[in-house]
């Protein structure tokens, strides 16, 4: 490799170490196959310039190699875009120039080659769902522990949970007088009404955001949800107590049972988000 190739290319939250063949996102390693990584390094070396398809063919395959070049190169570029979360129609990193080649769009900085972290501290994310790791939150399920489930079922369940909470908020606020009377009789303190109003006012936009994020398949939703999770957990656990407001109508036993189920729901949301992330992880191929 040339001197340039032995450096670490930094772009956005990504770092590509040409000497070790490692691609990282925010410190987490993304395992990319050798040929896609070679192409990525070449694009990074010449960022802002057009790298022709012929140059890529000469780099990847010797002259006497028989291969479906167009299909193979398209597959390689798609794998690069997949691991970077990029899009061919609205590229942030790799731009296609029809019948000419490709150009890397984002600014690139070159640092000295080094190991970014000790092996014992690494969090590994690979193209194989079974090799994916994610730090647990509150000691709960890790990404590698969740099963492979159809993304359709995961999205439907997650959407239904958001609709359920929106219904809670709207019903409580729509019958504010009755709700306030119930809170006064149950707790005898006006602060409870204030907590209800504030939590609903915060919860409604959060639920609408999550609904739209899942409906439109927002990229990187898992990371964003995990950032919101501590706040969502507090709001959801407060609203988990709402069945006790109806204890006279449904009885304390049923109210307790529903509350117990609602206490678990925020953790179920987190598990669904991890299932979605696992499902979206591209298959690993050797």
User: What is the rounded CA–CA span in Å between residue 74 and residue 72?
Assistant: 5
* Res. 13: pLDDT tops 70: yes
Query: Residue 72: in which H helix or E strand, if any?
Result: helix 69-84
pTM beyond cutoff 0.75: no
* Beta strands at 22-25 and 28-30: parallel, antiparallel or unpaired: antiparallel
The mean pLDDT of 88-98, rounded to a whole number, is 91
For 117-165, what is each residue's pLDDT tens digit?
444 344 444 444 434 344 444 445 666 666 767 778 888 899 999 999 9
Domain range annotation of the chain = 4-125, 143-280
What pLDDT does 279 receive? 62
Higher pLDDT, 124 or 49: 49
What pLDDT does 104 receive? 94
CA distances from 246 to 198, 227, 252, 256 (A): 21, 33, 8, 11
Query: Residue 30: in which H helix or E strand, if any?
Result: strand 28-30
Task: List phi, psi (to 5°) of 65.
Answer: -90, 130
The fold for domain 4-125 equals Arc Repressor Mutant, subunit A (1.10.10)
């Amino acid at each position: 490799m040339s001197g340039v190739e032995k450096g670490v290319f930094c772009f956005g939250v990504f770092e590509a170490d040409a000497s070790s063949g490692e691609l990282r996102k925010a410190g987490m390693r993304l395992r990319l196959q050798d040929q896609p990584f070679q192409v990525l390094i070449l694009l990074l070396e010449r960022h802002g310039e057009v790298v022709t398809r012929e140059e890529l063919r000469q780099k990847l395959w010797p002259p006497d190699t028989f291969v479906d070049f167009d299909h193979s190169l398209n597959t390689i570029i798609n794998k690069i875009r997949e691991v970077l979360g990029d899009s061919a129609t609205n590229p942030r990193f790799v731009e296609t120039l029809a019948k000419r080649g490709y150009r890397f769009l984002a600014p690139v900085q070159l640092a000295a080659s080094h190991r970014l972290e000790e092996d014992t501290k690494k969090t590994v994310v690979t193209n194989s769902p079974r090799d994916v790791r994610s730090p647990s939150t509150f000691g709960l399920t890790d990404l590698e522990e969740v099963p492979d489930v159809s993304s359709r079922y995961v999205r439907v369940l997650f959407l239904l949970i958001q609709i359920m909470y929106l219904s809670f908020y709207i019903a409580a606020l729509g019958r504010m007088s009755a709700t306030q009377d119930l809170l006064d009789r149950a707790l005898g303190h006006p602060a409870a009404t204030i907590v209800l109003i504030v939590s609903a006012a915060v919860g409604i936009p959060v639920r609408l955001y999550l609904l739209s994020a899942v409906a439109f398949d927002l990229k990187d939703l898992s990371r964003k949800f995990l950032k919101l999770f501590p706040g969502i957990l507090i709001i959801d656990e407060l609203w988990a107590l709402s069945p006790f407001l109806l204890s006279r109508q449904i009885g304390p036993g049923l109210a307790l049972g529903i509350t117990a189920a609602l206490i678990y729901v925020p953790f179920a949301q987190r598990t669904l988000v991890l299932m979605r992330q696992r499902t979206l992880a591209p298959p690993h191929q050797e």
